[in-house]
Amino acid sequence: MKTHVSTVVNGDAVEFLCSPSDTLLHALRNEIGLTGTKEGCGSGDCGACSVMLDGALVCSCLVLGVEAQGSQVETIEGIAHQDKLHVIQEKFLEHAALQCGICTPGLIVSTKALLEENPAPTEEEARYYLAGNLCRCTGYDKIIKAVMDAADVMRQGA
């Protein structure tokens, strides 16, 4: 028996059907068709499926699809404004902070959450905040440089 869920994803009203055991990740990818949110582990350990749910950073593989009822969900697809990239996205590209790119959507969502909570993180704070987002390619060095640079630019813009 499937449940009807009404929610808002990246500002758009969305409706979908899901089984009680389906995760929000499953609903985003397979029911709504937003595949930018990635599955790396399905157990909340890698952060590739990070999204914002009512302003809170969550692993969408640990949230049930039905929990999105009446909520606001923000995914990687909602971060740029059409072709205008967010500063964080620009800085990831400028600093070559991605290689294969599979962890990138989750990292960008998490970085945005970090900088909303703490616009002036120290490098150590950034490293600990992003410790839930695994990257196997880069060794994190260029990611952290991109995050710190994005924070600088966003503070100047604020």
Partner 1 sequence: MSEAREYQHIGQRTIRPDGFDKVTGKANYGADLSIPGMIWGAILRSPHAHAKITSLDVSEAEAHPDVFAVATYQDFPSVNAEAVAAGTARKDLFDTAANVLADTKVLYHGHAIAAVAARTEAAAQAALELIQVAYEVLDPVLTIDAAIKDGAALLHDNMMTQGLLEPASAASNIAARMELKKGDIDLGFEAADIIVERSYETPTVHQGYIEPHATTVRFDDNGPSMIWCPTQGHFDVRARVAQLLNMELGQIKVVASEIGGGFGGKTTVYLEPVALILSKKSGRPVKMTMSREDVFRASGPASASQSKVKIGAKSDGTITAMQASLHYEAGAFKGSPMGPGCMTIFTPYDVENMYVEGFDVVVNKPKAAAYRAPGAPQAEFAAEMAVNELASKLGMDPIDLRLKNAAKEGTQTIYGPKLKTVGLEACLLAAKSSPHYQSTLQENAGRGLAAGFWFNIGGQSSVMIHLNPDGTGSIIEGSPDIGGSRASMQMMAAEVLGVSPSTLNPIVADTEHVAYNQTTGGSRTTFATGMAVIEAAEDIVDQLKARAAELWNVTPEQVDYKNGVAYNLSSDERLSLAEICAKAEKTGGQITGRANINARGAGPSFAVHLCDVQVDPETGKTDVLRYTAIQDAGKAIHPSYVEGQFQGGAVQGIGWALNEEYVYSADGVMENAGFLDYRIPLASDLPEIETIIVEVPNSFHPFGVRGVGETGIVPPLAAVGTAVSDAIGLPITSLPCSPPKLLELIMKRG
Least distance (Å) between residue 17 CB and partner 1? 12
Q: Which residues of 32-61 are buried (b: 16+ CB within 10 A; e: fewer)?
A: bebebbbbbeeeeebbbbbbbbeeebbbbb
x/- track of binding to partner 1 for residues 65-94 (CB under 8 A): ----------xxx-xx----x---x--xxx
Piece of 62-70, 114-122, 132-140, 149-157 that binds partner 1 (CB under 8 A): 132-140
For residue 144, the SS3 value is helix
Least distance (Å) between residue 154 CB and partner 1? 16
In the bound state with partner 1, the residue whose beta carbon lies nearer, of 119 and 139, is 139
In the bound state with partner 1, the residue whose beta carbon lies nearer, of 94 and 116, is 94
User: Which backbone phi and psi does 16 adopt, to 5 degrees?
Assistant: -150, 165
Are 108 and 90 a contacting pair, CB within 8 Å?
A: no
| Residue given tokens 């964080």 in the structure block | 88
Tokens of 37: 């949110």
Are 107 and 136 a contacting pair, CB within 8 Å?
A: no
Least distance (Å) between residue 106 CB and partner 1? 9
Residues that bind partner 1 (CB under 8 A): 19, 21, 29-30, 34-43, 45-46, 48, 75-77, 79-80, 85, 89, 92-96, 98-105, 108, 124, 126-128, 130-131, 133-144
